[in-house]
Amino acid sequence: MVADIQLLQGKIIDDPETRMKNVSTLIEELALEILSEDELAVAATVSDRNPVQRGTA
């Protein structure tokens, strides 16, 4: 059996300047992902810091 170089080499992109057509959509989506993660992180910090706010006291 021979390893398949085509599948293992990754995607070769001839022109590094070539950007995807929907760059703005991707940036919006990435911002949303980061934003929602930040909100989750803030919520986790608040609940760790203050058990009263979690309703456990």
Residues that bind other proteins (CB under 8 A): 1-5, 7-14, 16-23, 25-35, 37-39, 41, 48
Nearer to other proteins, 18 or 55 (CB): 18
* DSSP-assigned letter for residue 54: G
For 41, 43, 50, 51, 52, the CA distances from 55, given in Å and listed in that order, are 19, 14, 9, 7, 5
CB of 31 to other proteins, least distance (A): 4
Nearer to other proteins, 6 or 55 (CB): 6
